[in-house]
Chain A
Amino acid sequence: MKILLPFLGVMGIVIVAFVGVEMLNLQYLFGVMIPYTAFIIFVVGVVLRILKWGRSAVPFCIPTTSGQQKSFSWIKRNRFDNPSNNLEVIVRMALEVLLFRSLFSNTSTALKEDEGRLIHQSSKWLWLGGLAFHWSFLIVLVRHLRLFLDPIPSALSLVEGMDGLMQLGVPVLYWTGLILLISATYLFFRRVVIPQVSYFSLPNDHFPLLLILFIATTGMIMRYILKVDIISVKAFTVGLFSLKPTITHDLGLIFYIHLFLVSVLLAYFPFSKLMHAAGVFLSPTRNMPNNSRRIRHINPWNYPVKVHTYEEYEDDFRDKMKTVGLPLEKE
């Protein structure tokens, strides 16, 4: 059920696009109005969500310290796992966001039951799969800019050139498209196959993965199998991008399906766990330096509390204190 529902959901999206474009001829709706709306929902949604998080206070300095603190000059400290200033925090965050450093040090634990022994081993598959997925997705996205920009910046051509280094016939096969498909498939299957992961996975974990898998697949189909007329697509997307949308060409059904899937992903993004992309930057355990003994951190909502004062304490125990000769404020 957890997998079937999201799968049916994604299939539903495909069917809606099919019916809308192929049977009802709603090209303008699916080509222009929905993408624009989705994009607006995406931008406004993400901004609102970040603002909402931003309104929550950061009352305490609570970094997870994953390395030696800064103490004496003669003790080697770990600047990036236990940063002591903002610059080191930036490096820690950059390593985290760009290279998934925490996942790199992931372990897996197995129980040797006959010996009653736990074995903790390095486990890098999730790191590798996650890194491959996110980087290839990013490069695929960047490559898509060629559809929106005219003229195409040379840096972009460089990315494409690198990506297409594996020249296999025409059109050039992009590495990243393939890696995206493989890594997303891996991430999906590990959710299904590993019993624990499957146990705690929710429909809204499967849905975005399936959505992205469908997007990647329709993209590949468009490029390598059905071969959509790229000139028409570019004319259309440049029009979208320059806010002069027109639909003059026949763009092909598969293109509309692809575009509708992307639109759904965009609109879904701000309401889902996909917001981890933005949230990771705001995580207090990672984005703060461990310097709260050196520099006082201020809690914006700190308030006075009722305490049991020394005077009250002495009143409670004066006689007993006196017997054992403890100094007193009042005899």
Chain B
Amino acid sequence: MSNLKPDELSKINYMPPEEDWMSVSVQMRKGMYCHGASENSLKTVGFPNPRKWSSAEADWKLPDNWQEIVLKGMAERLEKYRSFHIFMDICVRCGACADKCHFFLGTGDPKNMPVLRAELLRSVYRREFTTAGKILGKIAGARELTEDVLKEWWYYFFQCTECRRCSVFCPYGIDTAEITMIARELLNLLGLNIEWIAGPVANCYMKGNHLGLEPHTITSSVEFLLDEIEEITGIKIEPTFNRKGAEILFVTPSGDLFADPGTYTCMGYLMLFHELGLDYTWSTYASEGGNFGSFTSNEMGKRLNSKIYAEAKRLGVKWILGGECGHMWRVLNQYMDTWNGPADFLQVPVSPITGTVFENAASTKMVHISEFTADLLKHNKLEIDPSRNDHYKVTFHDSCNPSRGMGLLEEPRYIINKVCNNFFEMPENTIREKTFCCGSGSGLNASENMELRLRGGFPRANAVKHVKNKYDVNMLACICAIDRAALTTLMDYWVPGVKVIGVTELLANALKMKGENDRDTDLRGEPLSGAEDGDAKEDSEDV
């Protein structure tokens, strides 16, 4: 577990075991998996087979016809998803993906090689849906769907963060994220989700956000941040909630409202929008950009996502601005318009400050905060003092989803380069589309699976450590709420001394607001650069 010291945890054996992988049953190790979904969470959203069960016990209390349910589900999905159908058939097991998964690199468990993770499902597919598999069985790589196999699915498909790194390297673009999503849908048919996902889904459905913040809690959370901002800048900001007729609806992950360092990023949004005099509003109903539903089933993803357009319509806004979040943007980029569009009641987004038309969002009508901000900086609409970030030596973590599910690579870098003076890239094989996952995405950022998270985050941390040693980097920037939470834990363990920051927080540090006090601290209350004692404080914390 996390009792292990980093130098012990980083001893990883990549040699596969002797026995054939098909013939060994799954060994579920504590610290490597999450608690099973609770009955209540599943009931709230009407998921099938809610019941009391524990993954740690032998009897998972499956319904009698569970095999039938799974195989029927598989057959349906083979018709509904060409990706699934093709990816079951065309893998040649060349192995290009084998050493690309952060969970394989962190655990050495061969079933975390993307090829083998997919084979867990493919072997059953062959047995049930191909002639060769039916006749030749194991020789054709086929095996029966037993309870052991099902448990193995559960264990390993909740050891995949759907980060898509393997897909970049696959000559056929086989995307394990697609396979994991389908596998989780199948498990979901039997009520076999994890609580860290099912709980937020139920919360989001009933209350509008994963954390289950009720309307009055949201406003009071924001008020708390406003007080902080006033203390630092002397400026009193008054945002609105659920206001009809605003020009823009702002949606961000609820994690930004909740815990450090996400809250600092949230303060950044508030300061930026205030400085611009933006006519925007928050919604307490659509108070979540993230979508844990997409970690359960396509249908649940759609059900949760529907709130964003519905609220934009009700409030009569012109377009939607989205905050810093990872999978929220994969969902928005690849699914939202298809699920819940057409958003014909909205207008093609135009920046009210620069007049830029966001043609690339002409249909979804939703713009990423990094696009919005980069455009402002390009047009010199903000007064920036990058030296206010001089106490930071910054590197940037490309979140998996915006990079590999959207292609948002340059916009955040453009912002960082404008708002701070010390920016250092991690090695090229670990950034942009080759970026490594934080190890906690797709709903795996629980605490009971801490060893898995630390192991999965090892390749990311390793690259950060490289730039820390080389350039003395002390700040890891990102544009994802789960990153902000997960990377903080990860850095504390693997690379102590490196903190985590949202790009909009960096911006807000450097932003010279009209009528502000002489700022002597950053948003975290740390003395601004130049102040020698500031550096000393950082250092003393590192020891």
Contact = CB atoms under 8 A, between A and B. Distances in A.
Interface of A: 2, 5, 49, 52-62, 64-72, 74-78, 81-82, 96, 100, 102-103, 105-109, 111, 113, 116-118, 120-122, 126, 130, 194-205, 271-273, 275-276, 279-280, 282-286, 290, 292-299, 301-302, 305-310, 313-314, 316-317, 320-321, 323-324, 326-327
Contact of A59 (B119, B173, B208, B338): B338
B90 A200 contact: no
Contacts of B433: 64-67, 81
Contacts of A309: 310
A202 B119 CA distance: 10
Interface of B: 6-7, 10-12, 14-16, 20-21, 46, 78-87, 89-96, 98-100, 105, 110, 113, 115-116, 119, 130-132, 139-141, 164, 167-175, 178, 205-208, 214-216, 219-220, 241-244, 284-285, 298-299, 302-303, 306-307, 310-311, 314, 332-335, 337-339, 341-342, 356, 359-364, 366, 371, 374-375, 378, 403-411, 414, 427, 429-430, 432-434, 458-459, 462-463, 465-466
Given A297-B337, A320-B214, A108 B99 contact: yes
B175 A200 contact: no
A107 B429 contact: yes
A112 B16 CA distance: 18
A198 B78 CA distance: 29
A62 B171 contact: no
A68 B314 contact: no
Given A294-B361, A296-B337, A308-B307, 15 more contacts: A96-B173, A102-B168, A102-B171, A103-B171, A111-B105, A118-B105, A202-B93, A283-B87, A283-B172, A283-B174, A285-B83, A285-B173, A292-B333, A293-B362, A317-B284
Closest 10 pairs (CB-CB, A-B): A69-B407, A279-B90, A65-B407, A116-B10, A285-B173, A199-B16, A286-B173, A120-B429, A56-B82, A276-B90
B85 A64 contact: no
Contacts of B99: 107-109, 196
A57 B363 contact: no
Contact of B427 (A76, A120, A310, A320): A120
Q: Is the interface of B mostly helix, strand, loop or mixed?
A: helix
Report which residue of B14, B92, B141 has the largest number of chain A beta carbons within 10 angstroms of its beta carbon.
B92
Contacts, number: 319
B86 A283 contact: yes
Given A66-B433, A271-B132, A299-B338, A308 B205 contact: yes
A214 B125 CA distance: 30
A82 B403 CA distance: 10
B310 A65 contact: no
Given A81-B433, A290-B407, A307-B303, A271 B310 contact: no
A108 to B, nearest CB: 6
Contact of A56 (B14, B81, B303): B81
Contacts of A194: 95
